[in-house]
Structure 1
Amino acid sequence: MIYRLVRALWRAALFAFFRRIGVQGRGNVPARGPALLVANHTNAFIDGLLVLTRLERPVTLTVKSTLRRNPMLAALIRAMHVVEFHRSQDVGEGADPAKNVDAVGACAARLADGGCIVIFPEGVSHSDPALRPFRTGAARIALAYVDAHPRGPALALVPTGLHFEAKERFRSSAGMIFGEAMDVHAWRRDHPGGDAHALTEEIEARIRGLTANYDAEREMEIFGRAAELLETADDGPPPLGQEPAADVAARVSLIHRLQAGRQWLGHGRRAELEALEERVRGFGRKLHRLGITAAELFLPMEVPRAAFFVFREMELLAAGSPIAAWGWMNALPAYAVTKAVVMKMSKDRDHFASNSVFLGIPIFLLFWGMQIALVALVASPLRAVLYALSLPYAGAVALLYRDRAGSAWRRARTFLLLARRPGHRRKLVDEARSILADLRRLAAEFEAAETSNAVS
């Protein structure tokens, strides 16, 4: 009961912070039986909460032991039966790495009961452009279970890739990919001499296949811009309200392909590679200065179509404005306090979302509780009940209204910007198509080279 209640609150908080959460490969997670979900760790508490709230089956979280020093988190750790791991770098803060033997045993016991556990082998949340070295904890848990239950139910180890569009920004997007499950019993049979280090290498390789990793921050911009261009395919953005779910797996696959092509091109055609990268980066910066995306550059410029867009959006926004205004009016005090506290407490990029979720829940409940009490005091209990029922609904409408109004304004602004500068738009479109043509030409050459190497 407590688990369901807390998960519902977290789902609501994640809905409030993220505009969209995409999930792919959910069918790779078994509906029952022992499962160990192993994921990259880039957004603190949010990583575990995303997994926990996107699956129907109960999930056991694992956290660092020092979180127990926070009274509110300590209560949650007890209520949710979270397993604590003690990191060596936290010894001065009360951690005892010797207790990790008990933690591994506790996880193996949960798996023996058919439980599902999520663990982050990087050991610490970070904002690095690539994965950090994996620790052997996940592998030791998996092997401890298999060794203790050689003929027991098969343990499914599910590599998981977590992705964030801009994790420090309110109403950004997130996504996750559940990869193909490993049968750890089968892995043990196929690797009779394999130890936790060998299994960790296998796990890390699989998670690398589900995530985008870069040697430096500079590469993130280049590959991101190139992927964005290739994904546009000379098409404009989809109509508002008809945006397809983000295909995170396809984006990761595309970036991996671009990285392989870059490596191939860099062997004998370094000057050509550097020139292309500079063109991609320079083009991206031009779009950034204009405040538009590559897809918006191909926005249809027909005036009748634009007029219909404005009429339709104005009609929708006018219809939803009363409920949205009611929602914002009642949420604004709690939102302002939450934002002020989060901005003061968050020092790293991977703290904003976590602090917003964990602080936002009690702050909003406190403010809404006081507001309901005030209505009951000055009006009547019945009106207080009706008021209480309106708060979450109107709050959700206010968030969705904000998103739609912001998107409509951005689309209209982009149209006016490009319409005022048709010559500049044509130059940018020609530049985009020229870069796209070169990327596609090089992709064809790369594929031909791969085919030739495979044949020989």
Structure 2
Amino acid sequence: MLYLILKLIYKLGLWVFFRRFEVRNRHLMPDRGPLLVVSNHPNTFMDPIVTASLLRQPVYFIAKSTLFGSGLQNRMLRQMHLIPIHRREDNPGQAISNEEAFAASSVALQQHKTLLIFPEGNSFNQRRLRKIKTGTARIALEALSAGAADLRILPVGLNYTAPTRFRSDVFVNVGEPVAVAEYVAACQQDGQETVLALTEEIRKRLEGLIIHTPTDEEDELARQVEILYKGRLAADAPSDAPAHLQDFLLTRAIVSSINYFSQKDPVRVAALKQKLGDYMEQLRRLRLRDEAMGLRRDTVLQQSLLRVLFLVLGLPVYGYGLLHNYLPYIIPAKAARAATHEEEWHAPIMLTVGIFTFPLFYLLEVWLARELLQLSWAWTTLHLLSLPLSGFFTLYYWGTLRRTREHWLLLRLFVKRQDLVSSLRRQRQEIVTELEAAKADYLAQASPDS
């Protein structure tokens, strides 16, 4: 019961927290077990919430043993379907035995339940897949030998645009399930080799469902190329693909091409990285974004005037929304920063705290308004509906205010520092020209699969 209540609450919280929540191949997600769901792990507690919200059946989770404590805490965590597992890094100097967790996982799968595992072990806020541990394959093969004949492994790739930011996007990429029964014969011949083979298959499946950048340096370069060049590549994306899938495929293509040139022509990559870094640093100092540099002066002026008009007309609604939503909005962010310095935990903490702060503040505000103003039930209902709507408007208004400020900075540069604007645009065009040449070379020389 506790699991079902929390699932319902968190599904509503996810709808609010993310601006876009997109799922590819949702039809590949079985609605019954035995099923072993495996996923990458970039966003700590947010990852199981996102994945479990998409599955109709109850989901059981492998969790690190340090989460478990007193008897009451243990009972609550088990009511939430958590199975403890002991990790060497959590218990330094102690003998490690996961036999109990492995046995519990195997029993759950034999009972046709669904189990969610993050085979990387730890969570890292990075766009890459780390080393896959063999425990997942061992659990699957053990459950299969114990009677879970129809056991499948479902790979799920989680792709966040900004894992720690409110109103960011998440793209869930579901892969084809792996039938564990196909490994029976091999397991009978060589159990350890089969564990390694199944682990490698899981790694390949997951890596194909996410953005995988081998190093932080390549990831930074890929992000800079995305900012400057992804829009131009959009014409090459499959026209029948939805926007979120196009965006994913374009990013994958950019990462693949960087990896290709890093091996074939590292000098070229280093030169491009230097030019992009210099250009982006100048924009940062000027508090501008690249998208503004592609606009003409008259376009910037026209957009700025329209936005100023919107800001003036929308100011009363913004004030109303800010008054009613500031505290429930800022408390989760403050709580996340106070609780931990690890960015990976900020999003799930904000989501969890926000699930309580917004309803509590909204109910308190509605009650106060009804008591003080003697509102009818009709006006009370309208007041309640206006609170979240005005909150979303306030976020949009704030974003518009920031973009307008950026445009006015650019207009000032047009007037006072035209030479600087021209220099930045020349740098930008040189980089784009190099990227166009690299694209042509990559398409000409790379393999068809790439």
- Alignment TM class, shorter chain as reference: 0.7 to 0.9
Superposition RMSD on alpha carbons, in Å? 4.0
219-228 or 181-190, which deviates more:
181-190
Q: How far apart in 1 are the matches of 2:339 and 2:26?
A: 34
38-47 or 211-220, which deviates more:
211-220
Matched with 1:404 is: 396
Matched with 1:417 is: 409
Gaps of 5+ in 1: 236-242
Match 1:122 to one of 120, 123, 139? 120
- Supply the AA of the counterpart residue of 1:402: T
Aligned residue pair count: 437
Return the offset for 1:215: 4.8
2:25 and 2:175 in contact (8 A); partners too: yes
- Supply the AA of the counterpart residue of 2:123: S
Match 1:175 to one of 154, 164, 171? 171
Structure 2 counterpart SS, 1:124: coil
Q: How far apart in 2 are the matches of 1:438 and 1:208?
A: 29
Q: How far apart in 1 are the matches of 2:359 and 2:449?
A: 62
Q: For each residue in 1:83-128, what CA deviation from the matched residue of structure 2 results, as whole angstroms up to 9, or x when unmatched?
A: 22222333379x9843x32322333333344433221112122345
TM-score normalised by L of structure 2 = 0.80
The 5 A counterparts of 1:356-375 are: 356-367=350-361
Matched with 2:140 is: 142
- Supply the AA of the counterpart residue of 1:138: T
Structure 2 counterpart SS, 1:61: strand
Matched with 1:185 is: 181
1:261 and 1:443 in contact (8 A); partners too: no
1:177 and 1:248 in contact (8 A); partners too: no
Return the offset for 1:339: 3.4
Q: For each residue in 1:57-77, what CA deviation from the matched residue of structure 2 results, as whole angstroms up to 9, or x when unmatched?
A: 433332212212389975652
Matched with 1:65 is: 65
Matched with 2:131 is: 133
Q: How far apart in 2 are the matches of 1:7 and 1:60?
A: 12
Structure 2 counterpart SS, 1:162: strand
Q: How far apart in 1 are the matches of 2:425 and 2:300?
A: 22
The 5 A counterparts of 1:161-172 are: 161-172=157-168
Return the offset for 1:272: 2.9
Matched with 1:200 is: 199
Structure 2 counterpart SS, 1:44: coil
The 5 A counterparts of 1:380-391 are: 387=380, 391=384
Tell me if 1:48 matches 2:48. Answer: yes
- The alignment-based identity, stated in percent, is 25
Return the offset for 1:395: 4.4
Matched with 1:240 is: none
Q: How far apart in 2 are the matches of 1:376 and 1:71?
A: 43
Q: How far apart in 1 are the matches of 2:67 and 2:29?
A: 28
Q: For each residue in 1:394-437, what CA deviation from the matched residue of structure 2 results, as whole angstroms up to 9, or x when unmatched?
A: 44324421332133224433433334434444443443333222
TM-score normalised by L of structure 1 = 0.79
- Supply the AA of the counterpart residue of 1:182: V
Q: 1:363 to 1:308 in 2, by over 3 A?
A: closer
Q: How far apart in 1 are the matches of 2:255 and 2:412?
A: 38
1:317 and 1:401 in contact (8 A); partners too: no
1:59 and 1:116 in contact (8 A); partners too: yes
- Supply the AA of the counterpart residue of 2:445: A
Q: 1:283 to 1:201 in 2, by over 3 A?
A: same
Q: How far apart in 2 are the matches of 1:444 and 1:127?
A: 33
Return the offset for 1:348: 0.9
Q: For each residue in 1:282-319, what CA deviation from the matched residue of structure 2 results, as whole angstroms up to 9, or x when unmatched?
A: 2222333344443343246545993598269729973x
120-129 or 416-425, which deviates more:
416-425
